[in-house]
Amino acid sequence: MKRVFQPIDPPARLLMGPGPINADPRVLRAMSAQLVGQYAPAMTAYMDETQALYREVFQTSNEQTLLVDGTSRAGIEASLVSLIEPGDKVLVPVFGRFGHLLREIAERCGAEVHVIEVPWGQVFTLESIVEAIERVRPKLLAVVHGDTSTTVAQPLEGLGEVCARHGVLFYTDVTASIVGNTFRTDELGLDAVSAGLQKCLGGPSGSSPVTYSERAVEVIRARTSIEAGIRTEGDTTSAHRIASNYFDLAMIFDYWGPQRLNHHTEATTMLWGARECARLVVDEGVDAVVARHALHGRAMLAGVQGLGLETFGDLAHKMNNVVAVMIPDGVDGDRVRGALLADFGIEIGTSFGPLHGKVWRIGTMGYNARRDTVLTTLAALEAVLRREGAPITSGGGVGAAYDVYLDVDRSASAATSEATRASSVVPDQQSPDLDAATAGGAAPEGGAA
C-alpha cells in the first residue's frame, strides 16, 4: 500500500525553553514571500537593506555586516575558519557547553588552542582573561557572550582595549544574548561577532548574522583565493587560502558587496526572515527590546523563586532571557517537562553535561518575552509540580511575577500622570520652537493644513 504523506501541521506549542522559540508571526509572513532571482535589483536591494538593519542590531558601523547561510553554528565556523590558520594560537575561556564548541572548531582549523575554565554557572574576571592573554599571546581570543547551557553572560567590557593593545583579534558568539541583553559591538572593541535568529531575534534557525571590523577584514582578505570556476585574469589566489569554500568569508564579502561575486545562491526565504527580524527590532528600538527582555526575565525569575524553587548560577551575571531552575529533590525532571508539554502545550528545556537532568532552563525570548507567556508558564509549572508532590508555595509564582509587573505599571502610570500635569501648564508666552514650527501656517504633525 502506498504511504500517504499529509501536509505539515505542527502541534500548537508555547516554546519557553532556551531556544528555539515561537517565531514572530510577522517573520513567518515575510518568509512566505515569493522568490526572486539572486541578482535581481529587488534581491540585491533587500540584501543591502539587511546589512544596514543588522548594523543597527549589532550597534556597529562595520561595512562587512551580513548573513552567513546556515544555523548560528555556520556563523561561528565561518568566523573561525576564515580568521585562523594552522598553528595560530587561540585562547578560549570556557564557562559552559558553547565554549567547548569554540575550542573544538578552532582545533579543527588547526589552531594551537589554549583553554582557561571556571565552573559552570560562573564567569571570568577581566583580570583572569588578561593574565591568560599576556601569557599565551594568542592571535585570537574567542569567547561566548551568553551561554544558554549555564544561563550566564560573560562580561566583555575592557577586553577590546586589552586585545587591541596586544594585537589580538577579539571574537564573540552572541547567538543567545543579542538584543536580549545590552551589547554594542563597536563600544566593546570587537573584531568579529556571530549570531542566530532563533532566540531573542524572534525568528527560525537557519541564518547567521555576522559582523567584522576592518582589522578582521584585513586578515581575511589576505587569504583571498577565488575559486577556479569563476576566476578571471588578475584575480587573487592565496597559498594560505581559507580551508572551507562554503564558509570562505573573503568570497562571501564579495558576494554581498558591489562585485556580487557568484559564490553561492542566497537562501532567499531565510533572507526575508532575517531582514524582518532585524526590521522589527529596529522599529521597536534596540534598547527597548533589551528592556522588554529584562522586564519579563525579571518576572520569570521572581516567579520561580516565588514558587520556592532554587536557581542555578551567578544571578549577578544571569542573562535577561533565560533562567536555570534546580529540579527539586524527589522530582522527575523529565516527567515534569513531559506533563507541561502534553497537558499545557508548553516546552521548557533541561541542560547539557554536568547540568543534564539537574536543572530546567526556562526562556523568555523574542516574541515570547511577554506578560501572558510568563504568567501562563508559571501557572502551568505550579500545577504540574503540585501533582508531583513538590513542596511549593501555592500561588507564589504568578503572584511574585505580578508584583514585578505591578511595580512597573505603577511607575509608568506615575510617569504618565507627571507628563500630563506638565503638559497642562499653559506658558505665558508661546515657546520659540512652537512659533518656528507653526510659522507660515504649517500644521502640526498629523493635523490638517
For the chain, count helices (H), then strands (E).
15, 13
pLDDT reported for residue 427:
54
pTM of the model: 0.90
pLDDT reported for residue 432:
38
Which DSSP state fits 178?
Answer: B
Which DSSP state fits 129?
Answer: H
pLDDT reported for residue 352:
86
Q: Which three cell numbers stand for residue 73?
A: 553554528
pLDDT reported for residue 426:
53
pLDDT reported for residue 233:
77
d(CA 23, CA 202): 5
d(CA 383, CA 377): 10
Q: With b meaning 16 or more CB within 10 Å and e meaning fewer, what string describes 192-225?
A: bbbbbbbbbbbbbbbbbbbbbbeebbebbbebbb
Q: With b meaning 16 or more CB within 10 Å and e meaning fewer, what string describes 277-289?
A: bbbbbbeeebeeb
Series of mean pLDDT values for 10-residue runs along the chain (449 residues): 94 96 98 96 97 98 98 98 98 97 98 98 98 98 97 98 98 98 98 98 98 98 87 77 95 94 93 98 98 98 98 97 97 96 97 92 98 98 95 94 94 79 59 36 35
Task: Tell me how crowded residue 388 is: count the other CB atoms within 10 A of its CB.
Answer: 16
Which residues are CB-neighbours of 275 under 8 A, at least 6 positions away? 30, 46, 49, 50, 53
Which residues are CB-neighbours of 8 under 8 A, at least 6 positions away? none
d(CA 251, CA 256): 9
d(CA 185, CA 57): 9
